[in-house]
């Protein structure tokens, strides 16, 4: 059984980006600049955005964090987005999700300039992805593709089962795994809360990508011998005995499932760190496009 080590792989990618940024600096060029907008005080969101900003520092990018209160109106947020769209110093930016209830997420994502949409959430970029055109691929699916590629996991002709149809992970993942090329050329089944007899489907899968947020959902009896397991779940489980007051766990019953499979991602240290590395990669891509 091979552990798909997202922490190590993301460090390799960050080292590669650091080198490219160093060359940009040596040539007197502007370095990539990522901005992140965060509305409210959600603990997990603040942690994610903090990690994104630290990752920028590590590779030599500039970064800007825009913090707005939980009471921010949709108009105020849209005004901030227009400022970032117009600011020539910013190469790419993200609006951390979820947003407070008073704000229409779809409207906000549509206001982001597609050329700066390093999350790949704008309908233009999502459509480009579905049509095999060059675009910003959403960071989590992009990170999974990169992990499969770097570990040379075969996907051609395999049956990939995706669990969860979120706009951020499941839906784009189902499109990407069925695309031409590598990693891709898979036969894809997209499952969700209305899927009947999910065990019958997952137990036929060569590759399972689970993005549900339900700890321990995927059990050993749902998995075929030798399957490849990608766990995108990140759930904080309260635990007073830990210093932070919680621990992080995935969708997969790792202890039992890992005994049956050929490859598996751990949580933490699997898909999570890859997401951040690929956001950096998209920001680098945005800088390179703006330079041309």
Catalytic residues: 52, 96, 119
Q: How many residues does the chain have?
A: 292
Kindly compute the dihedral angle of the four CA atoms of residues 211, 185, 182, 233, in this order, to the nearest 10 degrees.
10
Our finding on whether 96 is near ligand GUN (CB under 6 A) is yes
In the complex with ligand GUN, the residue whose CB is nearer, 230 or 257, is 230
Q: How many CB atoms lie within 10 A of CB 283?
A: 31
Site for ligand GUN in 123-142 (CB under 6 A): 139-140
234 in a known ligand binding site: yes
In the complex with ligand GUN, the residue whose CB is nearer, 206 or 251, is 251
Contact between 199 and 234 under an 8 Å Cβ cutoff? The reply is no
Our finding on whether 111 is near ligand GUN (CB under 6 A) is no
Our finding on whether 119 is near ligand GUN (CB under 6 A) is yes
In the complex with ligand GUN, the residue whose CB is nearer, 98 or 245, is 98
Residue with tokens 């489907």: 201
Phi, psi of 56 (to 5 degrees): -60, -45
164 in a known ligand binding site: yes
Our finding on whether 146 is near ligand GUN (CB under 6 A) is no
226 in a known ligand binding site: no
Give the N- to C-terminal CA distance of the chain in Å, as an integer.
44
Our finding on whether 206 is near ligand GUN (CB under 6 A) is no
Q: How far apart are CA 142 and CA 78, in angstroms?
A: 27
Encoded one letter per residue, x for contact with ligand GUN by CB under 6 A and - for no contact, window 162-191 reads ------x-----------------------
- In three state form, how does the secondary structure of 177-233 look? HHCCCCCCCCEEEEECCCCCCHHHHHCCCCEEEECCCCCCCECHHHCCCCCEEEECC
**Stretch touching ligand GUN by CB under 6 A, among 23-31, 91-99, 225-233, 247-255:** 91-99
- Number of residues engaging ligand GUN in binding (CB under 6 A): 9
Site for ligand GUN in 240-269 (CB under 6 A): none
Among residues 97, 110, 220, 248, which is the contact residue for ligand GUN, using CB under 6 A?
97
Q: How far is the CB of 235 from ligand GUN (least distance, A)?
A: 13
Contact between 283 and 92 under an 8 Å Cβ cutoff? The reply is yes
Q: How far is the CB of 168 from ligand GUN (least distance, A)?
A: 5
Q: How far is the CB of 52 from ligand GUN (least distance, A)?
A: 9
Q: How far apart are CA 34 and CA 287, in angstroms?
A: 10
In the complex with ligand GUN, the residue whose CB is nearer, 213 or 215, is 213
In the complex with ligand GUN, the residue whose CB is nearer, 82 or 291, is 82
In the complex with ligand GUN, the residue whose CB is nearer, 48 or 254, is 48
Q: How far apart are CA 52 and CA 61, in angstroms?
A: 11
Q: Which residue ranges make up the annotated binding site for NADP(+)?
A: 164-166, 234
Binding site for ligand GUN (CB under 6 A): 94-97, 119, 139-140, 168, 275
Q: Which residue ranges make up the annotated binding site?
A: 164-166, 234
């Amino acid at each position: 059984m091979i552990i798909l080590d997202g922490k190590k792989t993301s460090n390799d990618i960050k080292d590669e980006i650091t080198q490219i940024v160093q060359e940009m600096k040596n040539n007197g060029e502007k370095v990539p600049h990522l901005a992140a907008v965060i509305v409210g005080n959600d603990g997990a969101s603040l942690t994610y955005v903090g990690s994104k900003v630290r990752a920028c520092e590590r590779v030599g990018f500039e970064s800007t964090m825009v913090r707005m209160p939980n009471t921010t109106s949709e108009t105020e947020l849209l005004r901030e987005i227009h400022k970032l769209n117009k600011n020539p110093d910013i190469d790419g930016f993200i609006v951390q999700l979820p947003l407070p209830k008073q704000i229409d997420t779809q409207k906000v994502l549509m206001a982001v300039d597609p050329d700066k949409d390093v999350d790949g959430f704008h309908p233009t970029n999502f459509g480009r992805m579905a049509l095999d055109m060059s675009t910003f691929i959403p960071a989590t699916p992009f990170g999974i593709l990169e992990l499969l590629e770097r570990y040379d996991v075969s996907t051609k002709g395999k049956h990939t089962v995706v669990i969860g149809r979120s706009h951020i992970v499941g839906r784009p993942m189902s499109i990407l795994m069925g695309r031409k090329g590598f990693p891709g050329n898979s036969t894809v089944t997209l499952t969700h809360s209305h899927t009947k007899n999910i065990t019958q489907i997952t137990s036929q899968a060569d590759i399972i990508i689970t993005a549900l947020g339900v700890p321990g959902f995927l059990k050993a009896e749902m998995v075929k011998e030798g399957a490849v397991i990608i766990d995108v779940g990140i759930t904080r489980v309260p635990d007073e005995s830990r210093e932070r007051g919680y621990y992080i766990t995935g969708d997969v019953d790792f202890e039992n499932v890992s005994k049956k499979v050929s490859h598996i991602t751990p949580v933490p240290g699997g898909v999570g760190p890859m997401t951040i590395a690929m956001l950096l990669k998209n920001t680098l891509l945005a800088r390179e496009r703006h330079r041309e």
